[in-house]
Structure 1
Amino acid sequence: MQKRMEEDDTAAVSWGKGIEQASFLFLRFVTGLIFWAHGLAKLKKGMEPVGESFVSYGLPEWLAYPVLAVELLGGMALILGIATRYAAWALAAIMIGAIVTVKWQNGLIGSGGKSGYELDLVLLATTLYLGGRRQKPRIATD
């Protein structure tokens, strides 16, 4: 009876770890996809209009290039699971900049037809989580 209970506990722990790993993978993939898609949209729009929008927010035009690079490369890094922590921290910096310089004055939910920073805040929280979580190497115990 005791052995059966221990086996059930082991199975439950194993199942829980599987769900945790799958959830982390999904979160990392979706977050990366969102950033990569935003970078791709900037690239398709053209850097001149993107740079002009940066200027309209009081930012230097040249800043559009590193932001584009971080969104594309950082997003792809998250998707592929390469240098996840570094990519996440770089993307978190982008989100802090977006919230402070562009969205803050619109409020959390937004006003006057302008979007708020609620979704940016979720992406910031996600990137901080991804950047702060250490992946431990998996060692087979069988």
Structure 2
Amino acid sequence: MNAYKLFVERVGLVGITNILISLSSLIFIPIITKSFSTAEYGIWAQVLTTIALLPNIANLGLPYTMVRFLSAEHDKVKFKESFYPMITVTTIFTLIICGLCVLFAKPIAASLFNGNLKILYITVFISFFACVNL
């Protein structure tokens, strides 16, 4: 019975968290649109899209593969033998993507962020941690 109670508490916590995340965007977007100009709001939307897109490209689908193939694995040694190479490949590919973004900073910033290099560097920095988090 204790395991069932723990499971229900965790599912409830995830449900409440998802509701709060949904409500935060409902409250946050009108504030952002009122305080930003049209160009600033477009850049902000572009930053959010870039931060959402880069981790999905850089992770090569490995987190989903890990969940599929390692979820039933109980042997810690076999789990480590699969987990560490996946995280290493993901981190290396993330560094390559972020490095390419920094290498081609001027053209990317000109096309996405109206030539603002600071926004590009901040986006790359956040995207790196989003990739590692994913």
Higher helix share: 2
- Scaled by the length of structure 1, the TM-score of the pair is 0.34
Ranked by relative contact order (alpha carbons within 8 Å, sequence separation 6 or more), the top structure is: 2
- Scaled by the length of structure 2, the TM-score of the pair is 0.36
